[in-house]
Amino acid sequence: MSQQRAHSPGLRAWLGLLVVLGPVLLVSMDGSILFLTMPRISQSLTPTADQALWTLDVYGFAVGSLLIAFGNIGDRYGRLKLLMIGATVFGIGSAGAAFAPNPELLIAFRALMGVAGATLLPSALAVLSELFPDPRRRAQAIGIFAAAFAAGFAIGPVVGGTLLERFWWGSVFLVNIPVIALFLLLAPVLLRDVRATRPGRVDAPSVVLSAGGLLLTIYGIKHAAAEGLSIVPVTAAIAGVGLLAWFARRQRRLEHPLIEFSLFRDRIFTIAIITGLLPLAAWSAAAYLAGIHLQSVLGTSVLYAALLALPGAAVLTTTCIVTPAVVGRIGKRTALIVCHFSIAAGLLLLLPTGVTEGIGWYIASTAVAGVGYGISFSVVADTAVAAVPSERAGSAGAIAETSNELGNALGIALLGSLAALIFRIQGPDLAPTLDETLQLPDLAPAVAAKAKAAFVTGLHTVAVVASLLHAALGILALRWLPRSENGEYSSETPPSFEAVRAGEHVR
């Protein structure tokens, strides 16, 4: 009984979790809050098409490319210190973006917010391993963390649309300031200041290689999807992959690498990280294409389309919270299998959608797939953090977060490109996208109907392909992961991590 009481987190730990969730929610929400705000920004600042794209993308580029670097910096030099600096910079960037007088400054402040966001996510996740040393309580806390992150991305467009009904476009950035101020006030009181938690210096060339490689790869993939295959995005993607390969080779020679690639010898860790990537790819592509279907094909308003996503978001958020307790009973193997098959089934529910109907099927799809998405967010983060000693929690969490960012980029790029290809093959061939086709003057109703039908076919194709990929990964987990594995790691047994490094951790 006394041992259980020793492991039970006190009120301070739960209050610390609550304080950490504020910046996490903001970082996630700011990844999607501009989806409905860009038309108003375009009216006020008149950015070029390139500047509008950079305003949307630069935040995600900065977050995704710097997660690994800042996860390691926090591990070595103190997570609370990095959290305080990151939150301050995020607040400054938010205020600057709200009052930016031109597109150039708006892009610069969005980039600054992205850099700050990359400092907050891995350190906030690592702080949870300090607040909750018991594996079961830590898993619950990480489930709540994952729920806040997922909910932030889901409600971002709704928050943006609601603010725009009453205030000017800068309000979508100013809403961050009170949360940041509260965090800066309470964090020093509730969170532990951990210094020099990991030995060795940060390898500067590895930081440059990881950040540069991820930035170029994500940029190349996204722009190839948006603009088609051309010299600049293709060259950027190839250069990015080359830098990442160089980065991987360098890590094997370092005594204190940024990424411990030997972790991937653990099957559950490997499947979990892949699970961080593939569901985000399916989620981002399905959300993007279904949003177009709701607005451009079925004719719903932008805000109404965002509200239709709330039931699925509620299922996703709830699943994130309850998953740790369920995993404690059924194990991570079963959870990972359920994750992929539920996403596969949810995506197939998009197939009955058509040119004149589909709202009910869309809600059902997001609800069923939301179970799998919720499991993926919770299990991936907990598996990454639990697989290493506490001094490596920030960098391990960064691997999980980076897989999410790459999945988000790949989903829009690859699956979005597949939908665009189907539209070009089956559509009226008057414009490259559905929206551009429908905006053409004097468009005949029959031609508009053909364009909408071609888009729906592309949506169905993407749903089937993504569903098959998830079913395949579910089968892989079913056959590859040992039946007796419950997927639990103990944060109190760092020797298992050393065994992984030595290649002895065979499950």
Q: Which residue has the tokens 């989620």?
A: 283
Band the pLDDT of 506: cuts 50, 70, 90. very low
What residue type is 489 in one-letter code? Y
Band the pLDDT of 369: cuts 50, 70, 90. very high
What residue type is 23 in one-letter code? P
Per residue in 255-282, is it b (16+ CB within 10 Å) or e — as a string? ebbbbbebbebbbbbebbbbbbbbbbbb
Considering the chain, what percentage of its residues have pLDDT values greater than 90? 14
Q: Decide: 160 and 348 in contact? Cβ < 8 Å.
A: no
Q: Decide: residue 81, CB within 10 A, 0-12 exposed, 13-18 middle, 19+ buried.
A: middle
For residue 5, pLDDT over 70 is answered with no
Band the pLDDT of 484: cuts 50, 70, 90. low
The CA-atom distances, in angstroms, between 436 and each of 46, 330, 346, 441, 459 are 19, 49, 29, 10, 17
Q: Decide: residue 250, CB within 10 A, 0-12 exposed, 13-18 middle, 19+ buried.
A: middle
Residues in the chain: 507
From 27-41, 209-223, 275-289, 299-313, the region with the lowest mean pLDDT: 27-41
> Which residues, in sequence order, are CB contacts of 384 under 8 Å at separation 6+?
269, 272, 273, 396, 397, 399, 400
For residue 462, pLDDT over 90 is answered with yes
Q: Decide: 288 and 459 in contact? Cβ < 8 Å.
A: no
Q: Decide: 210 and 35 in contact? Cβ < 8 Å.
A: no
pLDDT at 351: 94
* Mean confidence (pLDDT) of the chain: 78
Q: What is the pLDDT of residues 189-241, one digit of tens each?
A: 887 665 545 556 777 888 788 778 877 887 777 677 556 677 888 898 899 89
Q: What is the pLDDT of residues 122-150, one digit of tens each?
A: 777 777 777 777 777 777 777 787 778 77
CA distance 396 to 64: 15
Band the pLDDT of 92: cuts 50, 70, 90. very high
pLDDT at 490: 38
Q: Which residue has the tokens 């089968």?
A: 475
What residue type is 176 in one-letter code? N
For residue 461, pLDDT over 90 is answered with yes
Report which of residues 212 and 272 the model is more confident about.
212
Q: Decide: residue 503, CB within 10 A, 0-12 exposed, 13-18 middle, 19+ buried.
A: exposed
Report which of residues 18 and 466 the model is more confident about.
466
Q: Which residue has the tokens 């928050």?
A: 159
For residue 349, pLDDT over 80 is answered with yes
Band the pLDDT of 3: cuts 50, 70, 90. very low
Q: What is the mean pLDDT of residues 434-460?
A: 88
Q: Decide: 41 and 34 in contact? Cβ < 8 Å.
A: yes
Q: What is the pLDDT of residues 396-422, one digit of tens each?
A: 666 776 677 677 667 766 787 788 888
pLDDT at 471: 93
> Which of 281, 491, 478, 499 is CA-nearest to residue 397?
491
Q: What is the pLDDT of residues 30-82, one digit of tens each?
A: 777 776 676 677 778 887 766 776 777 777 777 777 777 777 777 677 778 88
For residue 109, pLDDT over 90 is answered with yes
What residue type is 453 in one-letter code? A
